[in-house]
């Protein structure tokens, strides 16, 4: 399953879960969360009942442009 959540240090706060075939939907939801909240959003692969996850994408909002007044999304 694919999950979306906020990443703080080594911990991830789970926000939403999607099936394996809806990866694009999970990424779009992660971009929306990153746009409207502070912090880094992780899109990750997980199995129910296990604590290990594999991070597929990290999304965060960064300052950019003239004098860093603008903002844009960055996927890592």
Per-residue pLDDT reduced to its tens digit, 3-37: 999 988 888 888 999 988 889 999 999 999 999 88
Distance CA 71, CA 48 (A): 35
This prediction has a pTM of 0.83
In tens, the pLDDT along 35-51 reads 988 889 999 999 988 88
- Please report the sign of the dihedral spanned by the C-alpha atoms of residue 40, residue 43, residue 76, residue 63: negative
Structurally, the chain folds into a number of domains equal to 1
Range of the domain at 68: 2-75
């Amino acid at each position: 399953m694919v999950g979306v959540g906020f990443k703080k240090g080594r911990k991830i706060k789970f926000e939403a879960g999607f099936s394996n075939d809806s990866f694009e939907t999970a990424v779009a939801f992660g971009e929306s969360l990153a746009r409207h909240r502070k912090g880094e959003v992780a899109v990750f692969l997980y199995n129910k009942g296990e604590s290990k996850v594999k991070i597929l994408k990290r999304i965060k909002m960064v300052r950019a442009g003239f004098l860093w007044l603008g903002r844009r999304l960055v996927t890592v």
